Amino acid sequence: MSGNIKLLGDTLAAAKAEGRSALIAYLPAGFPTVDGGIEAAKAVFDGGADVVEVGLPHSDPVLDGPVIQTADDIALRGGVKIADVMRTVREAHQATGKPVLVMTYWNPIDRYGIERFTAELAEAGGAGCILPDLPVQESATWREHADKHGLATVFVVAPSSKDARLAEITAAGSGFVYAASLMGVTGTRESVGAQAQDLVRRTKATTDLPVCVGLGVSNPEQAAEVARFADGVIVGSAFVKRMLAADGDLADGLAGIRSLAAELAEGVRQQA
C-alpha cells in the first residue's frame, strides 16, 4: 500500500492556488491519552488545519521546548507506543481525508526498523515523516524505503544553514521543507522575526518544494506575518498549551484547540 505523499503535495498546492499559506498543526500522539490525541488531531482539522503532524513522543526531544516536553512526558507515562502513533495517523486521516505526517527523532525508527516503520506508516495512510535529527548524508536508506512506500521525507533547515548546505538538504527532501524560524527549540515567541523570512528566501532559491515555517508561531497575527512569505505555517506549542490549560477536561481542551485552529486558519488567509 502506498502512502499519501501526493495528497500532501496536492493539499499544499491547493492552498497556494487560493493565494494563501497552508496551516500545519502539530500534536503529540498519546496526549493527553491515545484516544484523546486522536480526537485532538480531528479537532484541529475541524478548525481549519490543512495538514497535521503527529509527534512520536520521545524522552529526549532535542528540538522541542518545555511545553511539548511536558506533553511527551504525559504520553510516555501513559505508555504510548509506535502502534498508537500509527493508529492516530490512521484514524485522523480516515476521519478527514487530509494529510497526516509523523514527526519523530531518528532513534525510535532505527530501533523499530526502517522497513517496518515505513510500511506501517504507508498502510495507515500517512503522508510522510519529518526527521529533525537525521543527517541528510546518512539518510539514503531511509529515503529509499520512504520512496518505495509513497512517503515524503521532510528535512529541517535552520537560519545557521549555509546556502550550499541548504541546497544539499532540499535536493534530498520531498513533500516540503521545514524552515525553523530561529535558532533554539520549539515554543511560542513574541515575534517570529526577520530571520525566518531570510531563511525562506534562501531556501526557495535552492528548490521548488514548498517551504513551511515553524518554531514560534502562536497567534493569528504571527500566522498572517509568516503567511506573507512562507508556503505553510506550522504551529505546535500553542495547541499543546491549550490542551494543557484544560487540566484534564478533554472536551474543554478540544474546544480550545478547535477554536485556535480556526483563528490561525483565518490568519493565514489575511492578505499582506
CA angle 99, 121, 116 (to 5 degrees): 165
Active-site residue identified among 64, 72, 84, 91: 64
| 3-state DSSP assignment of residue 233 | strand
Distance CA 105, CA 132 (A): 6
| Cβ atoms 213, 226 nearer than 8 A | yes
Decide if 120 is catalytic.
no
Q: Where are the beta strands (DSSP E) in 82-144?
A: 100-103, 128-130
In DSSP notation, 67-89 reads HHHHHHHHHHHTT--HHHHHHHH
Active-site residue identified among 39, 50, 53, 225: 53
| Cβ atoms 109, 82 nearer than 8 A | no
| Cβ atoms 3, 151 nearer than 8 A | yes
Taking alpha carbons only, the member of 137, 132, 183 closest to residue 154 is 132
Distance CA 31, CA 200 (A): 31
Residue pointed to by grid coordinates 497552508: 22
Decide if 64 is catalytic.
yes
Active site residues per annotation: 53, 64
